[in-house]
Structure formats: structure tokens, C-alpha cells
Structure 1
Amino acid sequence: MKIAVICANGKAGKRIVKEAVSRGLDVTAVVRGENQTVAQKVLKKDLFDLTAADLKGFDVVIDAFGTWTEDTLPQHSTSLKHLCDILSGTNIRLLVVGGAGSLYVNPEHTAVVSDGADFPPQFLPLAKAQGKALSELRQRGDVKWTFISPAGDFRADGERTGKYILGGEELTLNSRGESIISYEDYAIAMIDEATNGDNIQKRISVVRE
């Protein structure tokens, strides 16, 4: 299996590359600068400059793009649109590192995590930007996408437990009532989905067991 990880130098990207390489997959790190991952193959190019020819031949493309500043938040939508446009009509699967703010908190799917009174206000613009990108992604019937939301507490320095619960559109809690997952365990779930998953045109979520 050939996998491209876009924005591979990021916190999530590095761990996803490491997990994929550890399983013996053929991994290409797509980076703007020098490769900081364990991938042996590198495509040095900006996400927005990628072409259909660049991604031809891959089985799975993992989008680990992330940005947090106010002026760049719209790029969550524009970057995803660009990737969808160049993958349109192909069999290449697009797996997206998503956010937890857009997960539903009721069975009617009318309220999301970021609507909550206790949602940290500093993360609200990011959650809204990622939620908008997901809404737009849902309109793409021409791309084999999967949007993977982490748990609410997404820990860059969290431990690798090797265990997780696969959820759906709603915020899922573990047996201790927690919504938490480490970047390490998220990477496991991502590569599991890349190799075994069939959640085409669906949003799924993961939480530590």
C-alpha cells in the first residue's frame, strides 16, 4: 500500500508517518521544508501546489493539515477543496485529520461540542473553521473521503496505549466517562482506517479505550 502524508512535519503528521512506516507501508512525506519524519520518500511541495499527477499512484492520501491563526483559518476549507479537486473521480482515498468541535452531542444531530457553554473560547474559531470544512466535504460525492475526529482532549504528549474505541458522528466517552486520546493512539486509528477501513464518505471518531 502506498500512502502519502500531507503536512507530514506537523505533530500529527510525524506520528502518522511513524506508525505507517512501522507497519512496513510505502510512505511518502509531503512537506514544504526539510523532511523531519522517518519516511524515506519525500515530496517537497506546498499543499496548495500539489497536482493530480503528484498524487497519482497512491492508494491513500492522509491530510494532516492544520492551522490556528485567525488569518489562516479559512485554509481548512480551501486546502480541503484543493485536495478534493485533484483527487476527484479517482479511487484514491482521502483521510482527513479532523477536529472534535464538530462532533454531535445529541441523537438529533442538532448540537455540536463547540456549541457548549463550557467550550474553551480560544478554540472556538478553529472548531468553527474545521466544522465548515467538514460540511463542505460532505458535499463531495466525487471523492472517497473519510474525516476522522479525535476525542475532545487531543494530547500531543499523551502515552501510546495501543487501544481505542471507534465512534461515529457523536461524541463518544470511554468507560471512565472521558473524551481523550493521544496523538500516538490517534495515529494507530488513522493507519488502521487506511489499511482496513471502508468508511467512505463518512465522519468517524476515536477515543482512548
Structure 2
Amino acid sequence: MKIAVICANGKAGKLIVKEAVERNLDVTSVVRGDNQTAAQNVLKKDLFDLTTADLNGFDVVIDAFGAWTEDVLPQHSTSLKHLCDILSGTDIRLLVVGGAGSLYVNPEHTVQVSDGPDFPAMFLPLAKAQGKALAELRKRNDVKWTFISPAADFQADGERTGKYILAGEELTLNANGESVISYADYAIAMIDEATKGNHIQQRISVVAE
């Protein structure tokens, strides 16, 4: 299996690459600058400059793009649209590192985590930008996409336990009543989905056991 990880130098991207390499998968890091990942194969190119030809031959493309400041938050939508456009009509699967703010908190799927009164104001613009990108992605039936939301407490330096719970569109709590997962365990879930998953055109979520 050939996997490309876009924006691989980011915190999530590095751990996703590491997980894939440790499973002896054929991994290519797509980075703008010098490769800082465990991948031996490197494609040095900006996400927005990628073409269909660049991604031909890959089985799975993992989009680990992240934008945090308000001026670039719209790139969550524009970057995903670009990737969808160049993968349109192909059999290449697109797995997206998503956010938790767009997870639902009611069975009717009308209220999202980011709608809650206790949602941190500083994260609201990011949650809304990621939610908008997901809403636009849902309209694409020409791409084999999967959007993977982490738990609400997404811990960059959390430990790798090797265990997680696979859930769906709704915010899911573990046995301790927590919605938490480390980047390392999220990376496991991402590579599991890449190698074994079939959640085509679906949003799934993961939480630590």
C-alpha cells in the first residue's frame, strides 16, 4: 500500500508518518520545506501546487493540513477543495484529519459541540472553519473521502496507549466519561482506517479507551 501524507511536518502529520513507517507501509511525506519525518520518500511541494499526476499511484492520501490563525482559517476549505478537485473521479482514497467541534451532541444531529455555551471562544473560529470544510466535503460524491474527527481533548503530547474506540458522528465518551485522545493514538486510528477501513464518504470519530 502506498500512502502520501500531506503537511507531514506538522505534529499530527509526523506521528501519522511514523505509525505508517513502523508498519512497513510505503509512505511519502509531502512537505514544503525540509523533511522532518520518518519517511524516506519525500515530495517537496506546496499543497496548493499539487496535481493529479503528483498523487497518481497512491492508494491513500492523508490530509494533515492545519491552519490556526484567523487570516488563514479559510484554507481549511480551499485546501480540501483543491485536493478533492485533483482526486476527483479516481480510486485514491482521501483521509482527512478533522476537528471535534463539528461532532454532534444530540441524536437529531442538529447541535454541534461548537454550539455549546462552554465551548472555548478562542477555538470557535477554528471549529467553524473545520465544520464548514466538512459541510463542503459532504457534497463531494466524486471523491472517496473519509473525515476523521478526534475527541474533544486532542492531546499533542499524550501517550500512545495503542487502544481507541471508533465512533461515528456524535461526541462519544469513554468508560471514564471523557472525550480525549492523544495524537499518537489518533495516528493509529488513521493508519487503521487507511489499511482496513471502508468508511467511504463518511465522517467517523475516535476516542481513547
Normalising by the smaller structure, the TM-score range is over 0.9
Correspondence for 2:116? 116
Helix, strand or coil at the partner of 1:176: coil
Correspondence for 2:85? 85
Correspondence for 2:138? 138
Helix, strand or coil at the partner of 2:54: helix
Correspondence for 2:99? 99
For residues 161 and 73 of structure 1, what CA distance do their matches in structure 2 show? 31
For residues 67 and 73 of structure 2, what CA distance do their matches in structure 1 show? 6
For residues 160 and 202 of structure 2, what CA distance do their matches in structure 1 show? 26
For residues 157 and 119 of structure 1, what CA distance do their matches in structure 2 show? 22
What amino acid maps onto 1:70 in structure 2? E
Q: Give, in angstroms, the shift of residue 94 of structure 1.
A: 0.1
Deviations 1:131-162 (A, max 9, x none): 00000000000000000000000000100000
TM-score by length of 2: 1.00
Q: Give, in angstroms, the shift of residue 7 of structure 1.
A: 0.1
Correspondence for 1:52? 52
For residues 88 and 208 of structure 2, what CA distance do their matches in structure 1 show? 33
For residues 96 and 70 of structure 1, what CA distance do their matches in structure 2 show? 20
Deviations 1:98-133 (A, max 9, x none): 000000000000000000000000000000000000
2:181 counterpart of 1:181: yes
Helix, strand or coil at the partner of 2:99: coil
For residues 57 and 125 of structure 1, what CA distance do their matches in structure 2 show? 36
Question: Aligned pairs, how many?
Answer: 209
For residues 73 and 67 of structure 1, what CA distance do their matches in structure 2 show? 5
Correspondence for 2:129? 129
Correspondence for 1:14? 14
Structure 1 outlier segments of 4+, above 6 Å? none
Stretches of structure 1 lacking an aligned partner (at least 5 in a row): none
Helix, strand or coil at the partner of 1:54: helix
Q: Give, in angstroms, the shift of residue 56 of structure 1.
A: 0.2
Correspondence for 1:206? 206
Structural RMSD (CA): 0.2
